[in-house]
Amino acid sequence: MLETGITILSWCGLAVFAATGGIVAAHKKMDIVGFAMLATVTGIGGGTIRDLLLGLTPVFWIRQPEYLLVCVAMGVVVFFSRRIRDAGFLIWFDAIGLALFCVTGAERTLSAGAGPVAAVAMGMVTATFGGIIRDVLGGESPIIFSKEIYITAALFGALAYVGLIGLSVPQDIAFVSGFVACLALRGAAIYFDWSLPQHRG
């Protein structure tokens, strides 16, 4: 049951992140191929880097090409849907994807036999690197270079999940707790305009 739930959440996270790639493509007035490309690199970028760093080859979307197809499909959907493009949901879609991927990334890393420190780091990589690639290819300043709480939220969610697993908390509770921890911190940062102190030289 838990494995099924995690799989469903992973697909939801993939679709949500891919949609943000399409929205960035819309802002840049790209053609349909650009939409599909940005949606794809956003959806699978972080997980691809994670699998390569962990030596999990072939990477997940080569074994399961439906991940690639879903990303392309989301890009096409966003291209034709003005409602999605104009909804102004990019930052909130990104927050949901961030929360899902930081936990699923950590969970996959633990399942691969890596330790808790690597799991937290790979949770962060899975959650943030797709968005970084999206912003770079889309000609945007990557969100990690802004003062927003972004990577910190991903680390917080992954740490909550891994920490609870280390305390022998049931996996479903740990999973939901990590997701909520990341989403709550990222959501609060968006709503209240929170940021970490910046270096002033």
**198 falls within a domain:** no
**199 falls within a domain:** no
Note down the domain range covering 104.
2-192
Strand partners, 195: 148
Nearest CA to 24 out of 150, 136, 138 is that of 138
**201 falls within a domain:** no
Place of tokens 């390569």: 52
pLDDT of amino acid 83: 76
**197 falls within a domain:** no
Structural domain count of the chain: 1
Quick check: pTM over 0.95?
no
**54 falls within a domain:** yes
**135 falls within a domain:** yes
Count Cβ atoms below 10 Å from residue 199 Cβ, excluding itself: 4
Strand partners, 148: 195
**27 falls within a domain:** yes
Task: Provide the residue-wise pLDDT of the chain in tens; the chain has 201 residues.
Answer: 666 766 777 787 788 889 989 989 998 999 999 999 999 999 999 999 999 999 998 999 999 999 999 999 999 999 998 877 776 667 887 888 899 999 999 999 999 999 999 999 999 999 999 989 999 999 888 877 777 799 999 999 999 999 999 999 999 899 999 999 999 999 999 999 888 787 776
Cα 78 to Cα 180: distance, rounded to the nearest angstrom: 27
Per-residue tokens: 75: 């890009």
